[in-house]
């Protein structure tokens, strides 16, 4: 049913990728005069004068060990955002093909579609933030190339039902993208281990959230070796810079530290939820499998402005469909969470006094 050759854009099938100096010669030598680099060195103490490994072999081996998968299943992008863009460029003919997105969800799926001149078919989540399967079936046609599923979902925080995701994977002949940016905070399993079952599956993860490396810009796409080979042909040759590769490799050695933060965050998420639910300005705190809470309030704009004046920034999602009244609040350190709660209590007291 899944036919990669039929799905790929014609220009991508015909593409002769750029061949860098480092593609043509791999191995060790003593004199490198093949890439027009500065042979004297760089003005920094590190040797940044040489182009980085285009395929990030060392970093992928480290990721492979942690994720329990082999390097040919791994593509690294300059943030997940580059992985998303490459999916459009591989599969969607501009002005002709379409993709299915299930809002409220991550904004980049739609922005990237517009950049690539690809039609977006919105199939909103149900009221309990799950997939509208009949809606998805009705939206898909012969030109639907990608379906984006985000689980745990941003900004709602919940995970999608696994049977629903499997139903999409089993029935959609295009590519199903499951964005697992928040999987480290969830009690549910990743779909990475299902890759052998589904040639049409792409799992996105990132080092920007639980791993604490948002500034390095490293996104990960896990897929079949055939799909990864396609992404490698399309990507800019040196999409992950040397500093990011080295720093990410060092950071991935600190799994215990990261796991401690994850446990702390999950614990604080429950505590903060309980505390928020006691406030009369809070109507509902949605269950969360992520490192944030979606909080329905009586007066989102007023609360948002009050918090800003107190130096606390949260995300106002109240104008997003199905998120009316809602603020999205990231779980911070214990001190930050305390400060947030104190400010919300202040706001509530002022309101009760009628200002
Ligand atoms: C934060 C986030 C990402 C991460 O994007 P990067 O470009 O890797 O920083 C991806 N998907 C979702 C749903 C997110 O919320």
How far, in Å, from the CA of 257 to the mean position of ligand 1?
21
What ligand 1 atom has the least distance to the C-alpha of 206? 8
Q: What is the arrangement of strands in the sheet containing 326-330, beginning at the earlier edge strand?
A: 282-285, 292-297, 326-330, 315-316
Residue 20 pLDDT > 70: yes
Token pair of 209, please? 């959230």
Residue range of the domain that includes 344 = 256-352
24 band by pLDDT with thresholds 50, 70 and 90: confident
- The average pLDDT across 146-169 equals 98
* Bridge partners, 337 (sequence order): none
Q: Is 180 in the pocket of ligand 1 (CB under 6 A)?
A: no
344 band by pLDDT with thresholds 50, 70 and 90: very high
Token pair of 163, please? 């049977």
- The model's pLDDT over 186-237, given as tens digits with 9 standing for 90+, comes to 999 999 999 999 999 999 999 999 999 999 999 999 999 999 999 999 999 9
Based on the structure, what is the number of domains in the chain? 2
| Statement to judge: residues 313 and 192 lie in one domain | no
How far, in Å, from the CA of 80 to the mean position of ligand 1?
6
| Statement to judge: residues 176 and 86 lie in one domain | yes
Q: How many CA atoms lie within 13 A of 50 on its CB side?
A: 11
How far, in Å, from the CA of 109 to the mean position of ligand 1?
10
Residue 241 pLDDT > 70: yes
Beta carbons within 8 Å of 143's beta carbon, 6+ residues apart: 96, 97, 98
| Statement to judge: residues 83 and 226 lie in one domain | yes
How far, in Å, from the CA of 218 to the mean position of ligand 1?
10
| Statement to judge: residues 172 and 306 lie in one domain | no
Q: Is 150 in the pocket of ligand 1 (CB under 6 A)?
A: yes
Domain boundary among 204, 227, 253: 253
| Statement to judge: residues 117 and 174 lie in one domain | yes
- The model's pLDDT over 175-199, given as tens digits with 9 standing for 90+, comes to 999 999 999 999 999 999 999 999 9
- What pLDDT is attached to residue 1? 82
| Statement to judge: residues 98 and 241 lie in one domain | yes
CA 82 – CA 197 distance, rounded (Å): 25
- The average pLDDT across 159-167 equals 98
| Statement to judge: residues 47 and 125 lie in one domain | yes
Torsions phi, psi for 119 (to 5 deg): -70, 135
| Statement to judge: residues 33 and 87 lie in one domain | yes
Q: Is 81 in the pocket of ligand 1 (CB under 6 A)?
A: yes
Classify the C-alpha dihedral 93-98-104-105 as positive or negative. Answer: negative
Q: Within the chain, how many helices (H) and strands (E) appear? A: 13, 11
How far, in Å, from the CA of 112 to the mean position of ligand 1?
13
* Among protein residues, the one whose CA lies closest to atom 2 of ligand 1: 181
Q: Is 148 in the pocket of ligand 1 (CB under 6 A)?
A: no
How far, in Å, from the CA of 47 to the mean position of ligand 1?
30
Q: Is 208 in the pocket of ligand 1 (CB under 6 A)?
A: yes
Which one of 102, 153, 154, 288 would you pick to mutate in the ligand 1 pocket, going by the greatest count of ligand atoms within 8 A of its CB? 154
| Statement to judge: residues 215 and 279 lie in one domain | no
CA 105 – CA 149 distance, rounded (Å): 9
| Statement to judge: residues 70 and 109 lie in one domain | yes
126 band by pLDDT with thresholds 50, 70 and 90: very high
- The model's pLDDT over 261-281, given as tens digits with 9 standing for 90+, comes to 999 999 999 999 999 999 999
| Statement to judge: residues 242 and 272 lie in one domain | no
* Among protein residues, the one whose CA lies closest to atom 15 of ligand 1: 154
- What pLDDT is attached to residue 27? 83
Domain boundary among 253, 268, 283: 253
- The average pLDDT across 233-246 equals 97
Which one of 107, 112, 149, 208 would you pick to mutate in the ligand 1 pocket, going by the greatest count of ligand atoms within 8 A of its CB? 208
- The average pLDDT across 104-111 equals 98
What ligand 1 atom has the least distance to the C-alpha of 219? 8
> CATH number, domain at 305?
3.90.1150.10
Residue 301 pLDDT > 70: yes
- What pLDDT is attached to residue 22? 79
Strand-pair category, 326-330 with 292-297: antiparallel
Torsions phi, psi for 148 (to 5 deg): -95, 120
- What pLDDT is attached to residue 91? 98
Neighbours of 311 (CB within 10 A): 8
Q: Is 106 in the pocket of ligand 1 (CB under 6 A)?
A: yes
Residue 75 pLDDT > 80: yes
* Bridge partners, 204 (sequence order): 179, 221
23 band by pLDDT with thresholds 50, 70 and 90: confident
> CATH number, domain at 18?
3.40.640.10
| Statement to judge: residues 28 and 121 lie in one domain | yes
Domain boundary among 214, 230, 253: 253
């Amino acid at each position: 049913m899944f036919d990669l050759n039929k799905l790929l854009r014609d220009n991508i099938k015909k593409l002769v990728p750029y061949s860098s100096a480092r593609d043509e010669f791999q191995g060790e030598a003593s004199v490198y005069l093949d890439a027009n680099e500065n042979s004297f060195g760089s003005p920094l103490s590190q040797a940044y004068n040489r182009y980085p490994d285009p395929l990030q072999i060392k970093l992928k081996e480290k990721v492979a060990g942690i994720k329990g998968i082999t390097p040919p299943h791994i593509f690294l992008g300059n943030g997940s955002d580059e992985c998303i863009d490459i999916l459009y460029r591989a599969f969607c003919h501009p002005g002709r093909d379409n993709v299915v997105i299930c809002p409220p969800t991550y904004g980049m799926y739609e922005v990237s579609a517009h950049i690539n001149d690809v039609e977006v078919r919105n199939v909103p989540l149900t009221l309990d933030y799950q997939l509208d399967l009949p809606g998805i079936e009705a939206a898909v046609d012969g030109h639907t190339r990608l379906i984006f599923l985000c689980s745990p979902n941003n900004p709602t925080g919940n995970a999608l039902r696994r049977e629903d995701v499997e139903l999409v994977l089993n029935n959609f002949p295009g590519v199903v993208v499951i964005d697992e940016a928040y999987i480290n905070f969830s009690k549910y399993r990743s779909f990475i281990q299902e890759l052998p079952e589904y040639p049409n599956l792409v799992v996105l993860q990132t080092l920007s959230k639980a791993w604490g490396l948002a500034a390095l810009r490293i996104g990960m796409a896990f897929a079949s070796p055939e799909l990864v080979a396609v992404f490698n042909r399309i990507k800019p040759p040196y999409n992950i810079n040397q500093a990011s590769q080295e720093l990410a490799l060092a950071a991935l050695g600190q799994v215990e530290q990261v796991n401690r933060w994850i446990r702390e965050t999950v614990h604080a998420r429950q505590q903060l939820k309980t505390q928020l639910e006691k406030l009369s300005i809070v109507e509902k705190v949605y269950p969360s499998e992520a490192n944030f809470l979606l909080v329905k309030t009586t007066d989102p704009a007023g609360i948002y402005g009050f918090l800003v004046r107190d130096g606390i920034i949260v995300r106002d999602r109240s104008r997003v469909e199905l998120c009316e009244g809602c603020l999205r609040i990231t779980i911070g350190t214990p001190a930050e969470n305390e400060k947030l709660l104190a400010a919300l209590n202040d706001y509530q007291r002022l309101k009760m006094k009628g200002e």
